[in-house]
Structure 1
Amino acid sequence: MDPFFLVGAVLCALSLILCVAAVVTKTYPGDAAIVSVAVVELFLVVFGIGAGIRQAGGEAVRGEPWEFWGYLVTALIVPVAAFWWAIADRTRWSNAVLAAVPVTIFVMLFRMEQIWNGAPFS
């Protein structure tokens, strides 16, 4: 397992916990939920830079590189869209949208891990 994947999984889990707590306790998006999604976005930026460095250094992607980078670009868009939703819609449901981000990103990270290192679970 790639250390980037493990760090991403932990960050997604923590973000999910904070966002679900915000759904249960708040009627509007709280700072903790928004910041946790921002941390996931920051992780994705670092992940992308690290993947670019690894690929430029000669580490081969076992799957299709365009598919890996497509997942990464899409994953970078998801937290930003949820953030703008949370800012525009100041209700409890925007917390639910924020809570969907770490779950979605975890699934995308899992798929990117399969593409990069081969797909042992497919």
Structure 2
Amino acid sequence: MIAGLAWTVSALALVAMCWGLLTAVLDKPPGKAQLLYAAGLELVVVVQSVIALVRLGTGFRPVELATTIGYLVGIVVLVPVAWFWANSERTRFSGVVLAIAAAAVAAMTFRLLVLWVPR
């Protein structure tokens, strides 16, 4: 895992979280810009996970291999599920769904940074 990329993912996720909460507080559904931002976040998350999985495939072993693989796979699923939910149910709570997914992405990325220590 590239630490700079992981910090970028975390920062982007925290911005998405704040944006989702702001739209909920303003009682508005997520707009196209917010949904595009979430899609961009997903793209960066996928790049991070692919790089990490390639490193695992080439022999790198973190402290907890199974947990790391679970986080790498799980983190890729969160944003698309929230995105489809927010796009299909256009209410203020869709912003909350995006915010929760983004917060989970940030938390999982921070955890991956902790796990990404060689044995």
Q: Please indicate, yes or no, whether the TM-score normalized by the shorter chain is above 0.5.
A: yes
Does the 8 A contact of 1:79 with 1:101 survive in 2? yes
The residue number in structure 1 matching 2:100 is: 100
The alpha carbon displacement at 1:57 in A equals 4.0
**Is 1:11 the equivalent of 2:36?**
no
1:39 corresponds to: 40
**Shift of residue 43 of structure 1?**
1.1
**Runs of 4+ residues deviating >3 angstroms:** none
Equivalences for residues 1-122 of structure 1 within 5 A: 2-58=3-59, 60-117=60-117
For the residue of structure 1 that corresponds to 2:99, the secondary structure is helix
Which whole-Å CA distance do the structure 1 matches of 2:100 and 2:22 have between them? Answer: 13
Aligned partners of 1:18 and 1:32 also within 8 Å = no
> In the aligned structure 2, how far is the partner of 1:63 from the partner of 1:51?
14
TM-score by length of 2: 0.84
Alignment TM-score, normalising by the size of structure 1: 0.82
Q: What is the RMSD computed on CA atoms of the aligned residues?
A: 1.9
Would you say the 8 A contact 1:29–1:90 is kept in 2? yes
Range with bigger deviation, 22-31 or 43-52: 22-31
Q: CA deviation at 1:25?
A: 2.9
Aligned length: 117
What percent identity do the matched residue pairs reach? 27
Structure 2: stretches of 5+ with no match in the other structure: none
CA–CA distance in 2 between the matches of 1:110 and 1:16? 15
Give CA deviations for 1:34-59 in whole Å, capped at 9, x if unaligned: 1222122111110012112333444x
Q: Give structure 1 stretches of 5+ with no counterpart.
A: none
Q: How far apart, CA to CA, are the structure 2 residues paired with 1:54 and 1:44?
A: 15
> SS of the counterpart of 2:29?
coil
